[in-house]
Amino acid sequence: MATLARWHLQPPTARPLAHRRRIPRRAATVVSPRAFSRADFDGFVRRAWQGANAGAERFAFEARQAAQRLDSRFSISRRLADASRAARARAVEIDAEFGIGRRWRSFSVDFSRNWPRYRRDINDFMGTPIGRALATIFFLWLALSGWLFRIFIFGTFVLPFAAPLLLGTFANRVAIEVRVHLS
């Protein structure tokens, strides 16, 4: 981008010799070809990794020490245990009063038994123009609100750990047991 304004450098002001500092000239720095060799890079990476590990260990140690100091001063662990106990007792009371656990179990059993019918009904609904419009609106909301990208980012970190567990569970569920009788 060009501008019409000109750049005018101000001439240096003349100072008396007493105020000028003499800056010593250094010899040109020579970079040896070994500076970029693989061994030096490996050493750099190793030192960076060790420094990062040391910093993480120091941070974890200081966080643990701070948590212990706060716990001894304010008895946080005892208060959390009391709050957890009270919340569990209240949850048991609410479950007994409204029967939420029983209803959830019957719903999950019904859902697992009737899943093929529910899936067929959902697929039939998605084939209609209203279903396609709702699916499009839902996808646009998911993409424009940022949740789609959050799911992708979260999945990027979780999937490598969850995939073997899910595959093992799936394999155990669909595997046919073969028993070999040795006589």
Chain segment 96-148, per-residue pLDDT in tens: 999 999 998 998 889 889 999 999 999 999 999 999 999 999 999 999 999 99
Residue with more model confidence, 39 or 98:
98
| CB of 132 closer than 8 Å to CB of 125 | no
Reply yes or no on whether the pLDDT at 51 is more than 70: yes
Measured distance CA(49)–CA(42) in Å, rounded: 10
Do residues 34 and 40 touch, judged by C-beta distance below 8 A? yes
According to the model, what pLDDT value does residue 85 have?
Answer: 95
Mean pLDDT of 65-93: 92
Q: What is the DSSP letter of 18?
A: T
The model's confidence at residue 159, banded by pLDDT at 50, 70 and 90, is confident
Q: What is the pTM of this model?
A: 0.38
Q: Grade residue 176 by pLDDT with cuts at 50, 70 and 90.
A: low
Mean of pLDDT values over 58-84: 92
Task: Please say whether the beta carbons of 71 and 77 come within 8 A.
Answer: yes
C-alpha Rg value of the chain to the nearest Å: 34
Residue 45 pLDDT level (bands cut at 50, 70, 90)? confident
